[in-house]
Amino acid sequence: MAVRNIAVTDTIEKFRTEFNDMALNDFGDIATLDSSLTATTLVGAMNETLSVATNTAGFRIEDSSSSQQLIGGGEILRILGTSNEIEAVVSATDTLTIGLPNAVSITTSITSPTVSTGNMSLTNGSITDSSGQISFGDENLVTTGTINSGAITSSGNLTASGTTHTLGTVEISGNTIRSTDSTSLSINDSVAITGNLSVPSTNEITFGSLLKIDTQSSLPTITSTGANNVLLIDAVPLLLDNTIRFEGSSIDTNDTTLTATNPTADRTISLPDLSGNVVLDTSTGYATSTIFSTSATLIIYNSSGTPVKTIVGSST
């Protein structure tokens, strides 16, 4: 195909001759275009030919957004892995292997019906482990929601935010522990209290079915419901302060006080194995012959022979 030039001094006839010759001999007759091509222009036919050639000797790649890239014959398709996200390895023969590295980094999110690692699985909000135990090590477990569980075992501190917490049917609200399904809270083991045991004045303390401590009145009362309302204090010796007050059959302002003078040595006062009244040094009418096993009577008379004094004493 020769180069054709039209000089500025050439005639219109010269331009017509060269143009027709170029269209006929250089571009060719459009009527002779292969019927398998649908293009009607030279550029269109070239693009269509390129498409046919690449479909035979090359290929196209397309991503999820429908964006395409033509890979022609002799060109190289490079698949590059992203650090901590994907690995791509080319090996013989004509093999491309795409996988995940040992440590995978995901910058946004991962969605999967089940995520498994070792013995542990995460499925639809449930974490399970085939070993029967999930360990968080020394890390803190923080949640602003509710923990629903069976048995909770803690080897360290168990701390929860909020004001009210429920473990089964036991509710802890601030400093108050109560049962949610009854009016009593059962503790099956011994209880050690290092501080004071305080009972509201409107409540009673009941020990079994025989002993009750009533704090509702102005005077705390210990009541026994045993046989004959007997209260047995099994302590030897029983140490009291220097005063015991007896209220009597009615609670009023009058009391009988039994007191002991501050001893300077160990003293023993024995009550005899007898029934009767206690005689005091200020009492009268009790010193009769009946208080002695054997007695003698001395009568003192005045000058007129009238008895004025009788003295009773032991005859032994």
Residue 239's pLDDT band, with cuts at 50, 70 and 90, is: confident
Amino acid at 267: R
- Backbone torsions φ then ψ of 104, nearest 5 degrees: -105, 130
Amino acid at 93: T
Is the pLDDT at 146 greater than 80? The verdict is no
Lowest-confidence segment of 227-231, 237-241, 251-255 by average pLDDT = 237-241
More confident residue, 19 or 254: 254
The rounded distance, in Å, linking the Cα atoms of 57 and 74 is 9
Q: What b-and-e string marks burial along 115-128, b requiring 16 or more CB atoms within 10 Å of the CB?
A: eeeeeeeeeeeeee
pTM, to two decimals: 0.37
In the prediction, which pLDDT does 55 show?
Answer: 65
State the chain's mean pLDDT as an integer.
81
Residue 6's pLDDT band, with cuts at 50, 70 and 90, is: confident
Among candidates 288, 290, 307, which has minimal Cα distance to 299? Answer: 307
In this prediction, residues 287-291 reach a mean pLDDT of: 63
8 A C-beta contact, residue 79 and residue 96: yes
In this prediction, residues 271-286 reach a mean pLDDT of: 76
More confident residue, 224 or 2: 224
The CB-based long-range contact list for 247-256 (8 Å cut-off, 24+ gap) reads: 251/219
How do strand 176-179 and strand 170-173 relate by DSSP bridges?
antiparallel
Tokens of 120: 């542990």
From residue 184, alpha-carbon distances to 75, 177, 187 in Å are 84, 10, 10
The rounded distance, in Å, linking the Cα atoms of 190 and 300 is 72
Is the pLDDT at 41 greater than 70? The verdict is yes
Model confidence over 50-100: pLDDT tens digits?
Answer: 776 666 667 778 888 999 887 777 778 888 877 788 888 888 888 888 888
Residue by residue, DSSP assigns 180-249 as SSSS-----S----SS-----TT-EEEETTTEEEE-SSSS-EEEE-SGGG------SS----SEEEE--S
In the prediction, which pLDDT does 265 show?
Answer: 92
Neighbours of 264 (CB within 10 A): 6
How do strand 204-207 and strand 211-214 relate by DSSP bridges?
antiparallel
In the prediction, which pLDDT does 286 show?
Answer: 61
Residue 121's pLDDT band, with cuts at 50, 70 and 90, is: very high
Is the pLDDT at 299 greater than 80? The verdict is yes
The rounded distance, in Å, linking the Cα atoms of 52 and 73 is 12
The rounded distance, in Å, linking the Cα atoms of 314 and 287 is 11
Amino acid at 26: D
The rounded distance, in Å, linking the Cα atoms of 67 and 151 is 56
